[in-house]
């Protein structure tokens, strides 16, 4: 049983998805989905523990040896990502039953859970697999279900956002497919481990450069890296609240994982960073992303839009850490990946609670909410503080590591720019606080009550995690450090 | 050079044609058509590279030593299925957009969205 964990990680949600269709009662489907996701979480915990003690876990599908068969390869990085995805998915699901009753028509509830599980299975698959083509297949499983999930939104703009995402996402995925095809042409293998050994022999050919370019651009589209982020704000803003919370905390993280996996493991550090001006390119785009997206966030009147732009800015921080291309920089990226999942999970779930009570997330409807929904608003404030990077929250930890990594490289101006970017975060978080706490409540809103427990519990689990991992950083830092050291080929 | 790489020239031309249609056209259905052409070019690319000079179809038979590589064929079967699913979803979305907005022209949809804001 324990030997089969890598495949169970993916198969459990994948098989649970069609089984949902046989359950008729909505509450039953919800419970079933929650159990499936919980099982995935449990498996990822055991896997992480296994990987941290005994090293990389390799699983051969159907017993076929690696370069011929598909293998699942769980190293520290994969195990870390698996844990983040399945944990966020499980926590978010707690609130799903309450939230979708208001936002999605009753006859589509079962389908929502089917899509949700497929999306989860797709993301876990991308992270678990060690086969390049398998990555494409799982990417499309998660993407297709994401498009459908976004289209479930109440507003008709959700349809339009979903369509735009579909066009851009498919172009991105097809780019990755072209890149994988070119790599296969040059090496005759699809196994990532095998690729990493055979690519250096042909590294100087134009085909490999083209393959690299296609893969990176394709991933950056999925990643919503500035300036390829155009699909993200509307997709997040008009999707149902639960979907936004789940996607914002996981989907872009999986894309970051792919970026790291392809540049570090498959193409190798020397190819990615010495033959191409990737470092300066990513540094500039990352910083631009931080400033452009944070500034855009300040001018939003829809809070979901606001946090969506803030997500793009936070991706900028991860890209900056990535561009440093040292162990410390990558550690900062991985830490921020984990921490950002906690922040955005908490924030978007709290917004879901606001949506549940007042049916809107427009900024002016937040007037007086500080008194009417104190616990929910407190969660948003703590999440916001974490976004800014205030000490004792997770945001501080990752920004601290990022600034240290940048300074270690001697990039003083970049460190200053990172801190300036945080100032912009203060501005947009303050706008919410000001309206919610210092403006009188709107007329006719006296009846608004605190969000139900089914929201408050998952929101506060995430908020407390934000504080806990901001104080006790042992787990997250240790795993992130081990993962980045192994990516650089150093034994932890 | 030109004839030897005939398949790849077709791939590149189709790829650019498809990509251009996706970017340049405002009609949602035309965009989907462009996307299909774009994806199809990748299918042809995979199938072309599977060809081994002088090899036959990869079916075991007596007296034949050289076969084409069957793996890309299998990969592309998967990619075709993915492509169909994408097209179906995109068309379904286009139908829903037509119902909701009364139009499938990008400009008009954008205009109506701006009025909503």
Task: Tell me the H-state helices in A325-373.
Answer: 327-358, 369-372
Would you call A170 and B86 a contact, using CB atoms and an 8 Å cutoff? yes
Q: What is the DSSP letter of A252?
A: H
Q: Is the dihedral of CA A429, A432, A435, A436 positive or negative?
A: negative
Q: What is the CATH number of the domain that holds B91?
A: 1.10.287.3510
Would you call A181 and B46 a contact, using CB atoms and an 8 Å cutoff? yes
Per-residue pLDDT of chain A (492 residues), as tens digits, is: 678 888 889 999 999 999 988 887 888 999 999 999 999 999 999 999 988 888 888 888 888 887 788 899 998 899 999 999 999 999 999 998 888 888 888 888 889 999 999 999 999 999 999 899 999 999 999 999 999 999 998 888 999 999 999 999 999 999 999 999 999 988 888 988 888 888 888 888 888 999 999 999 999 999 888 888 889 999 999 999 999 999 999 999 999 999 999 998 888 887 877 777 888 889 999 999 999 999 999 998 899 999 999 999 999 999 999 998 888 999 999 999 999 999 999 999 999 998 888 888 888 888 888 888 888 899 999 999 999 988 888 889 989 999 999 998 888 888 899 899 889 999 999 998 888 888 887 777 777 788 888 889 999 999 999 999 888 888 888 888 888 888 887 654
A·B CB contacts under 8 A: 68
Please tell me the total count of domains within chain B: 1
**Residue B110 belongs to what domain range?**
3-116
| Residues of chain B with C-beta less than 8 angstroms from the C-beta of A174 | 38-39, 42
Would you call A159 and B97 a contact, using CB atoms and an 8 Å cutoff? yes
Cα A100 from Cα B20, distance rounded (Å)? 39
| Residues of chain A with C-beta less than 8 angstroms from the C-beta of B49 | 181, 184-185
Would you call B97 and A160 a contact, using CB atoms and an 8 Å cutoff? yes
Q: Is the dihedral of CA A369, A373, A379, A382 positive or negative?
A: positive
For chain A, say whether B75 makes contact (Cβ under 8 Å): yes
Interface TM-score (ipTM) > 0.90: yes
Chain A interface test: which of B82, B103, B111, B114 (most A C-beta within 10 Å): B82
Count of CB atoms situated within 10 Å of the CB of A365? 17
Count of CB atoms situated within 10 Å of the CB of A469? 22
Cα A149 from Cα A162, distance rounded (Å)? 9
CA distances A228 to A50, A109, A159, A218, B76, Å, are 37, 32, 20, 10, 27
């Amino acid at each position: 049983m324990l030997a089969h964990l890598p495949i169970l990680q993916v198969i459990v949600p994948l098989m649970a998805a069609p089984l949902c269709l046989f359950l008729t009662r909505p509450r039953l489907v919800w419970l079933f989905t929650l159990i499936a996701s919980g099982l995935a979480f449990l498996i990822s915990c055991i896997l992480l523990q296994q990987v941290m003690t005994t090293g990389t876990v390799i699983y051969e599908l159907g017993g076929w040896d690696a370069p011929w068969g598909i293998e699942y390869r769980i190293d520290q990085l994969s195990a870390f990502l698996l844990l983040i995805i399945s944990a966020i998915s499980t926590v978010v699901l707690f609130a799903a039953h309450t939230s979708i009753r208001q936002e999605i028509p009753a006859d589509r509830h079962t389908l929502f859970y089917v899509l949700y599980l497929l999306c989860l299975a797709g993301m876990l698959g991308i992270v678990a697999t060690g086969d390049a083509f398998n990555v494409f297949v799982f990417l499309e499983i998660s993407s297709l279900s994401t498009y459908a999930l976004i289209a479930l939104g109440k507003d008709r703009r959700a349809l339009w956002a979903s369509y735009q995402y579909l066009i851009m996402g498919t172009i991105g995925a097809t780019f990755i497919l072209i890149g994988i095809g070119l790599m296969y042409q040059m090496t005759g293998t699809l196994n990532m481990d095998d690729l990493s050994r055979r690519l250096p022999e042909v590294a100087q050919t134009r085909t490999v450069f083209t393959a690299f370019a296609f893969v990176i651009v394709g991933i950056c589209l999925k990643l919503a890296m500035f300036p390829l982020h155009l699909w993200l704000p509307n997709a997040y803003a008009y999707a149902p609240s639960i979907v936004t919370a789940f996607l914002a905390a996981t989907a872009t993280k999986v894309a970051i994982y792919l970026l790291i996996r392809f540049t570090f493991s498959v193409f190798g550090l020397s190819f990615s960073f010495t033959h191409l001006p990737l470092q300066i390119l990513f540094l500039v785009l990352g910083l631009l992303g931080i400033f452009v997206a944070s500034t855009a966030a300040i001018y939003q009147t829809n809070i979901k839009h606001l946090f969506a732009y803030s997500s793009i800015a936070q991706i900028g921080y991860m890209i900056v850490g990535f561009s440093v291309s040292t162990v410390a920089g990558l550690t900062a990226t991985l830490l921020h990946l984990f921490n950002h999942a906690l922040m955005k999970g908490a924030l978007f779930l709290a917004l879901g609670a606001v949506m549940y009570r007042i049916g809107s997330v427009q900024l002016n409807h937040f007037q007086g909410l500080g008194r009417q929904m104190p616990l929910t608003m407190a969660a948003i404030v703590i999440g916001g503080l974490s976004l800014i990077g205030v000490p004792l929250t997770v945001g501080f930890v990752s920004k601290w590591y990022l600034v240290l990594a940048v300074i270690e490289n001697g990039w003083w101006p970049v460190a200053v720019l990172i801190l300036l970017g945080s100032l912009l975060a203060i501005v947009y978080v303050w706008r919410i606080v000001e309206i919610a706490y210092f403006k009188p409540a709107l007329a006719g809103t006296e009846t608004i009550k605190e969000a139900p427990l089914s929201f408050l519990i998952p929101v506060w689990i995430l908020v407390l995690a934000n504080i806990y991992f901001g104080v006790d950083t042992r787990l997250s830092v240790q795993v992130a450090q081990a993962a980045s050291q192994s990516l650089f080929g150093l034994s932890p | 050079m030109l004839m030897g790489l005939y398949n790849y020239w077709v791939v590149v031309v189709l790829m650019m044609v498809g990509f251009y249609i996706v970017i340049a056209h405002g009609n949602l259905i035309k965009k989907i058509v462009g996307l299909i052409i774009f994806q199809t070019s990748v299918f042809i690319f995979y199938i072309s590279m599977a060809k081994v000079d002088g090899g036959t179809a990869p079916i075991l038979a007596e007296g034949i030593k050289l076969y084409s590589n069957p793996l890309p064929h299998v990969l592309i079967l998967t990619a075709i299925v993915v492509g169909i699913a994408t097209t179906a979803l995109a068309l379904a979305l286009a139908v829903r957009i037509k119902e909701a907005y009364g139009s499938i022209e990008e400009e008009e949809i954008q205009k109506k969205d701006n009025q909503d804001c």
